[in-house]
Amino acid sequence: MVDQVRIAFGTGIVLGLWRGQLAVAPTTAHLLTYYEGRCNANCKFCPQAKGSRADLRMLSRVVWPRCEFERVIAALRRNGGKFHRLCVQAVNHPNVIDDICEIVTRVKEACRLPISVSCQPLKRPDIEKLASSGAERISIALDAATPEIFDRIKGSAAGGPYRWHEHLRALDDAKRVFGDRVSTHLIVGLGETEQEMIEAIQFLHDRGITIGLFAFKPIPNTPLAGRAQPDVLSYRRIQLAQYLIKQDLTDVKHMRFNNGLVVDFGVNPATLQEVVDSRVPFMTSGCPNCNRPFYNESPLGPMYNYPRRPTPSEMATIRVQLGL
Ligand code: SF4
């Protein structure tokens, strides 16, 4: 029985659970399962990880206060219409499937938002259970671009339970159950090259998986607290490559790299210009209507994912960053 959940701070403001200022309102409501204790996994960037000493109210740079589930349900009845989607994120803990299914079922009774679930790799019967409970989409976060980085950051070398091939197996099973409503998350800045990240994007796109791209954010008291955020110029090129691949305007085979840096996107200049002018490649990516404002950057910048279309002056900065 779910008594408590965690709510992303900005989501709580829009729901009217507490007061605060928002530079940009979230378009997706974010809930996190509440568990007394740490996650069973040990992803080195995560404040929830079993080996971390970080504040358990944190996920990335965002605070997620604990709240009674009944209060959240009542708030969703009143204010759920202010969002376009709801995302249930889960830490890896015993009974996690039952907890997620209960949350999804209750949320569906309270409002009509499509529901994404972001969770650990599950066995196929549990994926089917999630679908039957009413989840619209599932996301299983790969986070790392290569098997080696995955192992170092989330797998056996990190003292964690996850294995690259198991994540891919779960994503394939999720595809069989959820069709084209399957996502993963990738984090730029865990030690990969641009080429490796773009190859991972192509590999996942070819498997029909939607990608939410994030920038690594160091969190105090995690093993990666001292690691720098990725270079914004590099992140911009990866965002652009991701969008071009997603739209089938290019393929990593047609791109050129020099020392791991992309030097040619494999599209003609007019197409590139048109895509950049649309401003969409630089916005938060992932499930439809998920803008996750300032999830991996301060509103003061530097900006990685724009939670809305960049303004003309922000576009001028982006063009300089891309060398256009
Ligand atoms: S892209 Fe957004 S809605 Fe989808 S799983 Fe990730 S955080 Fe949730």
Q: Is 11 in the pocket of ligand 1 (CB under 6 A)?
A: no
Percentage above 70 pLDDT, the chain: 100
Res 252 pLDDT > 90: yes
Q: Domain range spanning residue 31?
A: 4-321
Tell me, in angstroms, the distance from the centre of ligand 1 to residue 259's CA.
32
pLDDT in tens, 43-97: 999 999 999 988 888 888 888 999 999 999 999 999 999 999 999 999 999 899 9
State the total domains in the chain: 1
Q: Is 87 in the pocket of ligand 1 (CB under 6 A)?
A: yes
Tell me, in angstroms, the distance from the centre of ligand 1 to residue 322's CA.
27
Mean predicted lDDT score pLDDT of the chain? 96
Atom of ligand 1 at shortest range from CA of 118: 5
Indicate which residue's Cα is closest to atom 4 of ligand 1.
Answer: 287
State mean pLDDT over 155-161. 96
pLDDT in tens, 119-141: 999 999 999 999 999 999 999 99
Atom of ligand 1 at shortest range from CA of 286: 1
Res 36 pLDDT > 90: no
Domain with residue 257: its CATH number is: 3.20.20.70
Regarding pTM above 0.85, the answer is yes
Bridge partners (DSSP) of residue 256 are 264
State mean pLDDT over 303-318. 97
At 226, the pLDDT band (50, 70, 90 cuts) reads very high
Tell me, in angstroms, the distance from the centre of ligand 1 to residue 256's CA.
30
